[in-house]
Amino acid sequence: MPSSTEAVKIHHLVKAPENTPGAIRKRESWDADELATVYTTPECLPDGTICQATTVIFRTKGCVWWWNSGCTFCGYFNDVRDDVTYDNLMAQWQSAKDQTNDFEGSEVIKVYTSGTFFEDRENPPEWQEAILRETNERGLRLIVEARAEMCTPEKMSWVANLHPGCVVAIGLEAMDDEVLKFHCNKGFSTKQWHKAIETLRANELEVKTYLLFKPPFMSEGDALKHCIEWIREVGPLSDEVSVNPMNIQRGTIVERLFRHREYRPPWLWSLVEMIRQVDSVPGRLIVHPTAAGRVRGAHNCGKCDKHVAAAIERYSVSGDLEEFAGLTCECEKIWATEIELDCTIPSPFGVGLDRRMPVEESLMSP
């Protein structure tokens, strides 16, 4: 319909109302000296050695892209405060050390900031420098996250100087410009990602790439087919590929679809099938299904979720397909039929049920 007012993206109408009094009150109820969280997980080094990693998730000012627009699935803004200072961030770092006995037993530290670690509008440069220096001096392998367009030659040479060989993880999500634009609202293109990779390589920094399994407005069958292609394309260009199966976060476009019964998070069986098909691709593949087995995370029928999710987690450390040997459940047939129908019936949201439920209940109107 013609309209005299300026066009508004549907995303901006739907995404969480960041500056309502309620949203600000909630955000500012967090203590700015306290971390979002810190935890340890098993990790595999590039040479195959198994070790321990500590993940530190800071409470920061949050991602500049989210404040401007934001990805359709990202609920990280739930953990941010817009007045976090250098002192707060240093207090959070100290709190991470206190809670882990100074990173006892960990060789890898993942510093996650709900945005780009080395973006100066998000995090004070002095704090970035302190983290890069300290982790380098202590011989810890550091992993930080970034958006592709932030990996400029100047900033990357600065990072490489302070922590040579540091790992930069970029949330590419999809190796497809249409998906990036219309499904993810990612705000950068595959071309910018290629450029970022060149810059990281030129500075001898390591490249980790995140892909998103089942972005919104995509069927299960399409998600499986596309993600396999994307891993084949980005795998040879990355040191490590990490596939994040969609989980529904609060206040996002995906949550709106989910609540309207128009989106089901991926099946765990799809992840197993994807891993089987891309196992031979060069580079290391990691799959960590957040909230696995719950309706807001990747899930199966409810009976087999625990075993399938555990096998996927084990594969991410061992890289051995034998982890899936003998895994089976009745729901595998329902999943296989869904994939087959998604690949033959032109139904953009897919034919699958939006919720886990008994078949007879699914036949009733919602």
Residue list 95-124, contact with ligand SF4 (CB under 6 A)? 114-115
Number of chain positions touching Zn ion (CB under 5 A):
6
Q: Quote the tokens at residue 93.
A: 């770092």
- Residues in a beta bridge with 170: 146, 209
**By CB under 6 A, is residue 65 in contact with ligand SF4?**
yes
- Residues in a beta bridge with 241: 209, 285
* Distance of closest approach, residue 358 Cβ to Zn ion, in angstroms: 13
Give the C-alpha separation, 365 to 215, whole Å.
26
Q: Which phi and psi angles does 184 have, rounded to 5°?
A: -105, -20
* Backbone dihedral region for residue 62 (phi beyond 0: left; psi -120 to 50: alpha; all else: beta): left
Is residue 109 classed as helix, strand or coil in its secondary structure? strand
Looking at the Cβ atoms of 162 and 254, the one nearer to ligand SF4 is: 254
Order the strands of the 141-146 sheet from edge to edge.
37-44, 50-57, 108-112, 141-146, 167-173, 206-213, 240-245, 284-287
Where does this chain touch ligand SF4 (CB under 6 A) — which range of 60-68, 198-206, 287-295, 326-334? 60-68
Among 74, 111, 246, 339, binds ligand SF4 (CB under 6 A): 74
Residue list 8-27, contact with ligand SF4 (CB under 6 A)? none
Question: DSSP label at 100?
Answer: T
Among 147, 183, 208, 226, binds ligand SF4 (CB under 6 A): 147
Among 218, 301, 311, 339, binds Zn ion (CB under 5 A): 301
**By CB under 6 A, is residue 71 in contact with ligand SF4?**
yes
Helix (H) or strand (E) holding 128: helix 125-137
**178, 218 Cβ separation under 8 angstroms:** no
* Distance of closest approach, residue 215 Cβ to ligand SF4, in angstroms: 11
**By CB under 5 A, is residue 300 in contact with Zn ion?**
yes
Looking at the Cβ atoms of 100 and 185, the one nearer to ligand SF4 is: 185
Give the C-alpha separation, 220 to 80, whole Å.
32
Q: Using CB distances below 5 to 8 A depending on partner kind, what does residue 70 bind out of ligand SF4, Zn ion, none?
A: ligand SF4
**By CB under 5 A, is residue 304 in contact with Zn ion?**
yes
**By CB under 6 A, is residue 213 in contact with ligand SF4?**
no
Nearest C-alpha neighbor of 95 from the set 53, 143, 33, 138: 33
Looking at the Cβ atoms of 60 and 100, the one nearer to ligand SF4 is: 60
Q: Using CB distances below 5 to 8 A depending on partner kind, what does residue 263 bind out of ligand SF4, Zn ion, none?
A: none
Q: Using CB distances below 5 to 8 A depending on partner kind, what does residue 114 bind out of ligand SF4, Zn ion, none?
A: ligand SF4
Q: Using CB distances below 5 to 8 A depending on partner kind, what does residue 66 bind out of ligand SF4, Zn ion, none?
A: ligand SF4
- Exposed (0-12), middle (13-18) or buried (19+): which is 12, by Cβ within 10 Å? exposed
Provide CB contacts within 8 A for 90, sequence distance 6+: 127, 130
Where does this chain touch Zn ion (CB under 5 A) — which range of 273-281, 315-323, 326-334, 345-353? 326-334
Looking at the Cβ atoms of 211 and 301, the one nearer to Zn ion is: 301
**By CB under 5 A, is residue 292 in contact with Zn ion?**
no
**By CB under 6 A, is residue 135 in contact with ligand SF4?**
no
Q: Which residues of 27-46 are buried (b: 16+ CB within 10 A; e: fewer)?
A: beebebbebbebeeeebbee
Where does this chain touch ligand SF4 (CB under 6 A) — which range of 58-66, 155-163, 199-207, 250-258? 58-66
Provide CB contacts within 8 A for 281, sequence distance 6+: 231, 232, 235, 236
**By CB under 6 A, is residue 269 in contact with ligand SF4?**
no
Looking at the Cβ atoms of 145 and 342, the one nearer to ligand SF4 is: 145
Q: Quote the tokens at residue 302.
A: 């409810």
Looking at the Cβ atoms of 115 and 245, the one nearer to ligand SF4 is: 115
Is residue 149 classed as helix, strand or coil in its secondary structure? helix
Binding residues for ligand SF4, rule: CB under 6 A, are: 63, 65-66, 70-71, 74, 76, 114-115, 147, 171
Binding residues for Zn ion, rule: CB under 5 A, are: 300-301, 303-304, 329, 331
